[in-house]
């Protein structure tokens, strides 16, 4: 049963040192506010799962909170590389991290397998690909009917998943719209799910086939307007592409990165996100 709590309470209750956590959102609806709260609380030794680590994991890695990252595309989408992740992988700064790398198809299947209660995901994947030589979690199974060899990877089962969504009703049912990514799967495969939303409304006003997560699949809901910034929330505000471009420069230098995190994350509260998206709202 979903409870309505502050983001600070939700994070401190659901994310512990050593947790396996997914902060999902496929370019759209990335739960930045939740990740920033985790950074402020200094919760470390994390195993982080995300198809596209994006700026959120670049920031968490750069702040030294990450032990391992499971991912399928470690770039700043459309801009280039993730410089904090690179620094950790190439130079062990601020600490060495373990990586488990997959393809998108495999990760998406692994989330689905987790949501479906299966132990592993199966796909016609990794044919001729080098990842299966370096990732021991990529194995194969043989189809009992045709003999075809297919790729197999473990299902994703995080301790906690964080997602951001458009809105929740007062019972805690959540509506996700637009590019829905793997949000539904991320919630259903996790032991606990925390959802930040743009607003809490009387009626979701959803059509019969909309992506709605019933309140009993969610542990905690936090109202954080703008909580996806610099990612976006379809119908509310646009992606801050300029911020993604700027990140490339901020993250290029260790000191500048630290300073930026101090000013924009450590000394802030979730309320700052509403201000950040003000100029990005439709018709602003």
Partner 1 sequence: MADYTPDEMMTIAASRALSNDDVCFVGIGAPSAACNVARLTHAPDITLIYESGTLGTRPNVLPLSIGDGELCDTAVTTVAVPEMFRYWLQGGWITIGFLGAAQLDRFGNINTTVVGDYDKPKVRLPGGGGAPEIASASQQVYITMKQSKRGFVERIDFFTSFGHGEGGDHRERLGMKTKGPNLLITDMAIWKPDPQTKEFTVTSLHPGVTREQMTETVGWEISYADAVDETPPPTAEELSVLRDLKARTDAAHRGPGG
Q: Which residues bind partner 1 (CB under 8 A)?
A: 26-28, 51-52, 71-75, 77-79, 81-82, 85-86, 89-90, 101, 103-105, 108-109, 111-112, 123-131, 134, 148-149, 178-182, 184-185, 211, 232, 234, 238-242, 244-245, 279-281, 284
CB of 148 to partner 1, least distance (A): 7
CA 45/CA 16 separation, integer angstroms: 9
Structure tokens belonging to residue 11: 């994070």
Least CB distance to partner 1 at residue 212 (A): 13
Closer by beta carbon to partner 1, 26 or else 162: 26
Nearer to partner 1, 129 or 141 (CB): 129
| Helices then strands, each counted (H, E), the chain | 10, 15
Residue (131 or 201) nearer to partner 1, CB: 131
Least distance from partner 1 to the Cβ atom of residue 281, Å: 8
Cα 76 to Cα 19, 122, 146, 201, 258, distances in angstroms: 25, 28, 41, 33, 19
Contact assessment for residue 34 and residue 192, using Cβ atoms and an 8 Å cutoff: no
Which is nearer to partner 1, 125 or 270 (by Cβ)?
125
What are the b/e assignments for 96-135, b being 16+ CB within 10 Å? ebeebbbbeebbbbbbbbbbeeeebbbbebbeeeebbeeb
CB closer to partner 1, 109 vs 161: 109
Smallest distance, partner 1 to C-beta of residue 125, A: 5
Question: What sign has the CA pseudo-torsion 65, 70, 71, 74?
Answer: positive
* Closer of 151 and 220 to partner 1 (Cβ): 151
Residue 259 CB, shortest distance to partner 1, in Å, is: 23
Report d(CA 137, CA 132) in Å as an integer: 8
Work out how close the CB of 195 gets to partner 1 at its nearest, in angstroms, rounded to a whole number: 17
Q: Look up residue 29 and give its two tokens.
A: 């609806």
């Amino acid at each position: 049963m979903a409870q309505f709590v502050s983001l600070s309470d939700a994070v401190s209750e659901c994310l512990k040192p050593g947790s396996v956590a997914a902060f999902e959102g496929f370019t759209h609806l990335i739960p930045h506010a939740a990740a920033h709260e985790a950074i402020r609380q200094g919760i470390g030794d994390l195993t982080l799962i995300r198809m596209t680590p994006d700026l959120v994991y670049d920031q968490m890695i750069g702040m030294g909170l990450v032990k391992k990252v499971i991912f399928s595309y470690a770039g700043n989408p459309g801009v280039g590389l993730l410089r904090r992740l690179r620094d950790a992988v190439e130079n062990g700064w601020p600490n060495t991290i373990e990586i488990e790398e997959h393809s998108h198809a495999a990760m998406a299947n692994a989330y689905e397998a987790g949501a479906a209660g299966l132990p592993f995901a199966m796909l016609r994947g990794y044919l001729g690909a080098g990842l299966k030589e370096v990732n021991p979690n990529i194995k194969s199974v043989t189809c009992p009917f045709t003999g075809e060899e297919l790729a197999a990877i473990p299902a994703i089962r995080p301790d906690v998943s964080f997602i951001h969504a458009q809105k929740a009703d007062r019972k805690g049912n959540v509506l996700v719209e637009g590019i829905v990514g793997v949000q539904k799967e991320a919630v259903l495969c996790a032991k606990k799910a925390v959802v930040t939303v743009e607003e809490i409304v009387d009626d979701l006003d959803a059509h019969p086939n909309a992506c709605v997560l019933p309140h009993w699949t969610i542990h905690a809901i936090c109202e954080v307007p703008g909580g996806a910034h610099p990612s976006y929330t379809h119908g509310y505000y646009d992606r801050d592409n300029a911020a993604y471009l700027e990140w490339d420069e901020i993250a290029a230098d260790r000191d500048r990165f630290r300073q930026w995190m101090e000013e924009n994350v450590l000394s802030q509260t979730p309320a700052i996100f509403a201000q950040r998206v003000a100029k990005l709202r439709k018709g602003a």
